[in-house]
Amino acid sequence: MQKKNVKIKKGFLFSKKNKVSVWASTYPYADIPEAYFEEKFSKNNTRASNTWSNNFKMRYFSPSKMETNGAHEGTINIRQAVGECSFSSSFIEVLMSKAKKKKLNEITWVILLFEYEYSGKISGIESDDYVTLVGAFDYDDDAERLIEADDE
């Protein structure tokens, strides 16, 4: 049976349980125009779109399922950036392998979109001026933490 991703006139819907899609950037965060991030909301303020989602042909995304992290200056290791915004280690080894192939070990910032299986093959978009898709990965909320919580 072939997997279906719904194409709606304004973009694709890639919602999928137990998946996380990850984008990373090497572009200086401070140099990205604010308009890139400005969200337009619909559906009781639970769905949003912005320049980023439009560039990647996404119909919308759920801001409540998004985490971002990075360095305001310089770079940060992608493992650390992802670990600080995901409590699960379930996908880190596969992510690190893909990041290495795409030369994204040291990044400026990262976007994680949970419950979402973005496909560059289906959309035809792997990157824009600011971010590159690292991939979509299986996500297990019950897996060990990637980075241990700080001692209080």
List, for residues 68-101, the tens digit of each pLDDT value: 999 988 999 999 999 998 878 999 999 999 999 9
For residue 12 the two structure tokens come to 């694709």
> What DSSP element (H or E) covers 7?
strand 6-8
Confidence of residue 136 (pLDDT cuts 50, 70, 90): very high
Q: How high is the pLDDT of residue 4?
A: 47
Residue 6 has pLDDT above 80, yes or no: no
Are the C-beta atoms of 92 and 83 separated by less than 8 Å?
Answer: yes
| Closest residue by Cα to residue 99 from 78, 114, 68 | 78
Confidence of residue 126 (pLDDT cuts 50, 70, 90): very high
Distance (Å, rounded) from C-alpha 58 to C-alpha 61?
Answer: 7
Are the C-beta atoms of 57 and 11 separated by less than 8 Å?
Answer: yes
Residue 1 has pLDDT above 50, yes or no: no
